[in-house]
Structure 1
Amino acid sequence: MNGKLVAGFIVLTALVAGVAIYYLQEYAYYRTVEPASAEAVIRLTDLGGRVEPMLAERFEGVDADSSPLRFRGCFHTPMTLAMLSETYVAYEEPTPLIGPKWFSCFDAKALGADLEMGAALAFLSEKDIHPGVDRVVAVYPDGRAFAWHQPNETLEK
């Protein structure tokens, strides 16, 4: 009988710990980014190295103070890919990072596949928005656009 109590306690403790870890990773630290906030202003770096605001509509975003890599944004832009390509710095090796499941507008796997196939193009939003972290923007031909933070070469060393 005593062994059953110990085993039950271990199983219950593992279950509670698992639920707590899931909650902390998916919900606890994230907060929504208000469209009118300074965080919601998406910028792009032009070929001259200047950073300027991008035209963005219907912004939805999440961020967290616990990590500079937790920013995700979804929006629409009237800017064309041709204009963007001629004016702004393309981002080499964009790698969208997976966000919380409840933030359904940002699908990192699909976005990554589309970037690899050329169905979307990535641009440098801001270099070192946090030390060692760049903000990247990907745009589709229909104007759908996504933003995220990813480690740059200085952090990867």
Structure 2
Amino acid sequence: MGKFAVIAVLLSALLFGGGIWYAQTHGYYAPVEGPVTLVLAAPDGGLTALPAQGVAAIASASSPLGFRACFRHDLDLAALGADIPVEPRPAAAPTIAPGWFDCFDAEQIGALLADGRATAYTAYPNAAYGVDRIVALTGDGRGWAWHELNDCGRKAYDGTPVGEACPDRETYEPLSEGSL
């Protein structure tokens, strides 16, 4: 009887742990089917299309922060800021993607950003309420995108009044693209 109870508890723990692992690494993420919006945001609010090829993207139905994308580009990075009005986003930090989405390695992207071989930019402000889409670009044509909380998002989710600079949450329309 005691052995049966121990086996039942261990089997239950193993199944429960496996369910949590699957939910965190596969269950909440799905490939984005259809076009993915990859643009560069100008300080004045304008958007410039990012010439991206070979886009692979995933998103989470449970959180707007679950978006990740990898792509190639043929953009001349010297034109950024001069011909194309954008500003670097120096504090951008990519978040970890599920292991099966192997084109997005947050540690490698973070290292490229830290040593200056990649530069991050705001791609689309408020892609979801309080969440900006960020892109990181390298001179050799690689690019990645992810979502980060912006000032409005940090305030909204910690309970601080958001203020006039943030969009009205009641009438806000999030970026809609592809399907999960």
Give the TM-score, by structure 1 length.
Answer: 0.91
CA-atom RMSD, angstroms? 1.4
* Separation in structure 2 between the aligned mates of residue 79 and residue 52 of structure 1, nearest angstrom: 12
Q: 2:48 aligns with which of 36, 46, 52?
A: 52
Shift of residue 66, structure 1, vs aligned partner: 1.1
Deviation at 1:4, TM superposition (A): 2.1
Does the residue aligned with 2:91 lie in a helix, a strand or coil? Answer: coil
What's 1:19 paired with?
Answer: 18
Number of residue pairs matched by the alignment: 153
Q: Deviations over 1:19-48 (max 9, x none)?
A: 1011111111222123xx24x120110233
Q: Which residue identity does 2:58 align to in structure 1?
A: V
Residue identity matched to 2:15: V
Say if 1:93 and 1:64 are closer, same or farther in 2 by CA, change over 3 A. same
Gaps of 5+ in 1: none
Instruction: Tell me the TM-score normalized by structure 2.
Output: 0.80
Q: Percent identity?
A: 37
Report the equivalent of 2:5: 6
Counterparts of 1:2-151 in structure 2 under 5 Å?
2-34=1-33, 37-38=34-35, 40-86=36-82, 87-151=85-149
In the TM superposition, residue 5 of structure 1 has moved relative to its aligned partner by 2.0
Structure 2: gaps (5+ residues)? 156-180
